[in-house]
Amino acid sequence: MIAVLQRVSQAHVVIDGQVHGQIGAGLLLLLCAEQGDTEVQADRLLAKVLKLRIFSDAAGKMNLSVQDLDGQGTSGGLLIVSQFTLAADVSGGNRPSFTQAARPEDGRRLYDYFVAQARAAHPVVKTGVFAADMQVHLVNDGPVTIPLRIAP
């Protein structure tokens, strides 16, 4: 699975002119399932996302995870958005190929699984809509943007 994490002070997803998912401080997670991915990769990726220490502590050091924010008096949110284009291969020319992306039915199943596991493990989880045309709005805090890949 591939993810791009962005530490945000706020983020939301708009679908058909309506705000669908919205968080304050936390992580915007762009998520892509690739061919061969299973729930094992989803679980490993979620564990990494929840424990990644990229939020500042009182001394200004990146020493806190999104889960640690709960102990700081604020609930760090997760906004999870499906994005198959993270699997783009542009090595063959100027038009991206998405052959490494999971088939839509597998991608949806793994996205839904990831979201369900995130909701079971974290108090604030919002989402986009799988395969929808979405506009993602964010204020990247830092900026901090981290790509993650968990291979099968």
Q: Which of 35, 74, 85, 135 is labelled catalytic?
A: 85
- Collapse the DSSP code of 118 into the 3-class scheme (helix H, G, I; strand E, B; otherwise coil) and give the result: helix
The whole-angstrom separation of Cα 56 and Cα 20 is 28
Catalytic residue at 98? no
Q: Is 99 a catalytic residue?
A: no
Nearest residue to 24 via CA among 88, 92, 94, 73:
73
Alpha-carbon span 33 to 60, nearest angstrom: 34
Q: Which residue among 6, 41, 55, 84 is the active-site one?
A: 84
Block residue for tokens 């958005």:
81
Q: Which of 6, 41, 83, 117 is catalytic?
A: 83
Beta strand pairing status for 26-32 and 77-82?
parallel
Active centre residues (catalytic): 83-85
